[in-house]
Amino acid sequence: MRNGLPTDMSIGGLEVGKKIVELPHQDKHVEVIEAPDVVSIEAPVKWKVKPEWWVENHDIEGGNIKSPLSHDDRFGCYFMFDMTPKTGPMSGHRMQIEEVAPYTLENDKIAKE
């Protein structure tokens, strides 16, 4: 048994989503819950370099992540950022953004973001 479930069962989106929320508060990256060939459908860069790209292109003033919403092998986390882009048409303009990031799992690892 693991988390009250038989060990041969998937942990599912809710448990992986909770880790997305918890890991930044522990100064850890989500790499521990990623598939080796994870695909980003949003970022103009590969998933493995997305955090570096984000930090290089934005001044992050603050942010928050809310608990995940889950359904089977998919889940979404609600992100809020207070940031200033360093490049592009909004460069130098501080803004607050909110988004829901959808994720898809394969074998209890993030396969698509």
One digit per residue, the tens of pLDDT, for the chain of length 113 reads: 344 433 333 567 778 788 777 877 676 666 666 676 777 776 655 555 566 777 788 898 988 888 788 888 888 888 898 999 999 999 999 999 998 888 888 887 888 87
What pTM did the predictor assign?
0.67
Q: CB–CB of 66/77 below 8 Å?
A: yes
Residue 44 Cα distances to 21, 76, 102, angstroms? 23, 20, 16
Domain 12-112 has CATH 3.10.450.50: yes
Domain coordinates of the chain in residue numbers? 12-112
Q: CB–CB of 53/85 below 8 Å?
A: no
Angle at 100 between CA 67 and CA 87, to 5 degrees: 125
